[in-house]
Structure 1
C-alpha cells in the first residue's frame, strides 16, 4: 500500500517550489498514453471523462479510487525517469513543483512531450488548472464546461461565507512528529482553503511551512486546529495534540476544537475544492454555514 498521506504532506509542503521547464508545451500532439504527476490533475482528467487516455499516475493520485488501479510511477517530488518511461507515455502532465529537476531533464532528453500545470491556491487557480489540462488534451469545450461548473460552485461557497462576521482563527498543522509543530503560513494550499471556507489563517508571519515555537502558537491564539486525516505512525490523537504545552491557553484547546479532513480533498485545489470549502465552513461555523448553503 502506498504511504499516501506522508507523500501528500511532503508534496503540499514543497508545492510550486521547483521551476517549470523553460520550453514545455501547452498542447500534447498525442494524448493516447498519458501519465499524470499530481493528484488534482488526475482528478481533472477523470472529471473530464478522459481517463481512458491514462496509462499511469503518481503516488498522490488517490481519487477517484479507480485511479489507484493504474501503474504508480512514484512520488511527484522524487520521480524516477525510468519508472515514467517504462509505461511508454505519449505525453506527461506535471503539476508545478514536480521533480527533481534532474529527472525532468532526463524525460526532456527522451523527447517525451510535457505540460507543466501552474498551481495557485485560489478560486482562479482551480479554473486555470482545469483549462490548462483541457487545452493539453485538446478538449477545451469539456474543460470550459467543467471550469464553469467549478466556478459557480466556488462562487456559491464564497457567497455563503461572505456574511460571516466573526471569523475563526485556524491553525493548520502539517505534522507533529516528535511534538514539533510544523504549521502553514501564507501562500499554501492550507492558507487558500481556510480563506475559501471563511476562516483566517492564524499564522501570517511567513510563507510556506515552518516549525512553530510554543510562544508562536500562543501568540497565534487559534480557535481551531486543522489537520489531515492520518493513519499509522504519523497519526496523533486529539488528546496528544491538546496535551502539548504549546496549546495551553489557546481557545482551540479550551474548546477541544480540532478538524480533520482527507488530504487531497482538503488541499488538492481541483474539481472538489468548492465542496471541501463548504464542508470546512460547516465544520468551522456549524448550522449557520450549512443553512446558508
Structure 2
C-alpha cells in the first residue's frame, strides 16, 4: 500500500493509522515538517509546534508568522523541486494536493506524505486537529484543542440557528464572476457547510461542488445575501461591480445590497478559527 493511498482516509481513522503505520512519528516529535494547506499550518501553530515547521504552501497565510517560512508553492500545483529544496522529513497535507506526478516523486524519495481528509462539520474539524496532533507527536494538546473547538462550535451553531428563526436566509456563495459568469458553490462544499452552520440555507441547489450558474438559475435561486471571499487577482470583484451585474441586481440580495465578504482561509479553512468564522457569518446575516 502506497503512502498516499494508505493515509488518505476519514480523519477520524487517521490518528490510529499514524500510530500503526508510522510508529516512530507517533512516539516522537518530528521536525523538518512541511505543511500543505492553510488549515494544517494553522493547526500546527495552534499546537505550539511552529518551531518544527520548515516550509508551508501559498495558501498558508495565517498566522502572520507563517508567511516568514519558505513558500513551496500552491498546494494544487506543487513542483517536486520546490518541496525537496527545503529537505523535508515529514509532509502533512490537506486533501487535494498535487499534481499526482509531484506526489509520486516525493513518495519515491521516501518522505512520509500524510494527507488529512476534509469533513465539513464540527466532528470533522476536531478529527483533523487530532490527526495532525498525532502525526507531530502532540496528541494530548490536539485533543484539548479539538474538544474545546468542538464545544465552542456546537454552541455557536445552536445560537446561529436560534438567530435564524423560522425563516433562515438563502445565501449564494460566489467563487468568481470572471467574464460576467457566476461561479457558485453547490452542495457538499466548505462554503455550503459554513452557510448551514451559520443558520442559513445554500441558495444554490441541484448540483455539487463549484460550478457556473446560468442567469436564470441565479434569478430562480433568489438569494437574500451573497457571500464572497476577500482576495486579490483576476477573480476579485468589488461589491459595486458585483451589484452592477444585471443578474445580481435582480435578486433580493442585489436589491438590498446584501453582500458579505470574508477572508477565504478564515471562512473556508475549517481549522482552529472555525467557530469564530461561523459566529461572524451569522452576525453578518442576522445582526447578532
Same fold, TM-score > 0.5, yes or no? yes
Change (3 A) 1:101 1:232: closer
- CA deviations on 1:187-213 (whole Å, 9 max, x unpaired) are 111001111111100012100011111
Structure 1 position 66 matched with structure 2 position 56: no
Change (3 A) 1:278 1:175: same
- SS in structure 2 at match of 1:78: coil
Q: What corresponds to 1:247 in structure 2?
A: 248
Q: What corresponds to 1:168 in structure 2?
A: 169
Partners of 1:181 and 1:249 in 2: CA distance: 14
The answer as to whether partners of 2:187 and 2:204 remain within 8 angstroms in 1 is yes
Partners of 2:227 and 2:3 in 1: CA distance: 31
Equivalence map 1:140-289=2 (5 Å): 140-163=139-162, 164-165=164-165, 166-286=167-287
Q: Which moved more, 1:25-34 or 1:50-59?
A: 25-34
Partners of 2:204 and 2:281 in 1: CA distance: 18
Q: What corresponds to 1:102 in structure 2?
A: 101
Q: What corresponds to 1:46 in structure 2?
A: 45
Q: What corresponds to 2:136 in structure 1?
A: 137
Partners of 1:157 and 1:184 in 2: CA distance: 23
Structure 1 position 34 matched with structure 2 position 33: yes
Q: What corresponds to 1:127 in structure 2?
A: 126
Deviation at 1:234, TM superposition (A): 3.4
Partners of 2:225 and 2:54 in 1: CA distance: 41
Q: What corresponds to 1:13 in structure 2?
A: none
Partners of 2:75 and 2:231 in 1: CA distance: 19
Q: What TM-score do the two structures reach when normalised by structure 1?
A: 0.88
- SS in structure 2 at match of 1:279: helix
Deviation at 1:233, TM superposition (A): 4.2
Q: Which moved more, 1:20-29 or 1:275-284?
A: 20-29
Residue ranges of structure 2 left out of the alignment (5+ in a row): 8-16
Deviation at 1:20, TM superposition (A): 8.3
- SS in structure 2 at match of 1:227: strand
Deviation at 1:23, TM superposition (A): 2.9
The answer as to whether partners of 1:38 and 1:94 remain within 8 angstroms in 2 is yes
Residue ranges of structure 1 left out of the alignment (5+ in a row): 1-18
The answer as to whether partners of 2:3 and 2:107 remain within 8 angstroms in 1 is no
- SS in structure 2 at match of 1:274: helix
- SS in structure 2 at match of 1:23: helix
The answer as to whether partners of 1:20 and 1:97 remain within 8 angstroms in 2 is no
Deviation at 1:149, TM superposition (A): 1.0
Deviation at 1:239, TM superposition (A): 2.1
Change (3 A) 1:89 1:123: same
The answer as to whether partners of 1:20 and 1:116 remain within 8 angstroms in 2 is no
- SS in structure 2 at match of 1:170: strand
Partners of 1:192 and 1:79 in 2: CA distance: 27
Give the aligned length. 269
- SS in structure 1 at match of 2:42: helix
The answer as to whether partners of 1:123 and 1:151 remain within 8 angstroms in 2 is yes
Deviation at 1:269, TM superposition (A): 0.3
The answer as to whether partners of 2:3 and 2:113 remain within 8 angstroms in 1 is no
The answer as to whether partners of 1:213 and 1:246 remain within 8 angstroms in 2 is no
